[in-house]
Amino acid sequence: MAIYRILQNHNRCIGCFACIVHCKTNKGLAPGPRLCNIIPKEIKIENGRITQRFVFMTCFHCKDPECMKACPTGAIQKRSKDGIVFIDQDLCIGCKECITACPWNIPQFDPETGKVVKCDYCKDRIDQGLLPACVSKCTTHALKWEIIRKKTKKTATQ
């Protein structure tokens, strides 16, 4: 089994929002909801220069997702092969229970569809061997896609 994560090099991120633009373009989303976000953090002076840090924020694809537990229709699901948490749009009724349940405020309501959306690591692209849109289009290469291989426990017969 493999699980994934997106790492950010804070020293490289310039807060250009290219990751957000390409994510939204890939998913065909309207201006409102964001599947990932750039959060501006502290501004400081380093070596006589003003600098600002930006934090890339997206779904953590939790081991035991609160959003999934809160969904009354089972629209939020987790792939067993890699742990990617996604929303089956055909099952989503837009009740927003998952938004309330997520401690990170990750799921977003899309007023155009009346349903909730969230990052699914561009699972369609991952399945094709491609990178998530946000990682592939990061202009400063601040985002890195990491595949973590989980070791399976050996049984007594192995």
Q: Cα-flanking dihedrals φ and ψ of residue 137, to 5°?
A: -110, 10
Please list, in sequence order, all residues whose beta carbon lies within 8 angstroms of the beta carbon of residue 146, skipping any fewer than 6 positions away: 4, 5, 6, 7
How does DSSP assign 42-64, residue by residue?
EEEEETTEEEEEEEEEE----SS
SS3 of residue 19 by DSSP: helix
Domain 4-147 has CATH 2.170.120.12: no
SS3 of residue 117 by DSSP: strand
- pLDDT per position in the chain (158 positions), as tens? 568 999 999 999 999 999 999 999 999 998 889 999 999 998 999 899 998 999 999 999 999 999 999 999 999 999 999 999 999 999 999 999 999 999 999 999 999 999 999 999 999 999 999 999 999 999 999 999 999 876 555 544 44
Which sequence spans correspond to the domains of the chain? 4-147
pTM, 2 dp: 0.87
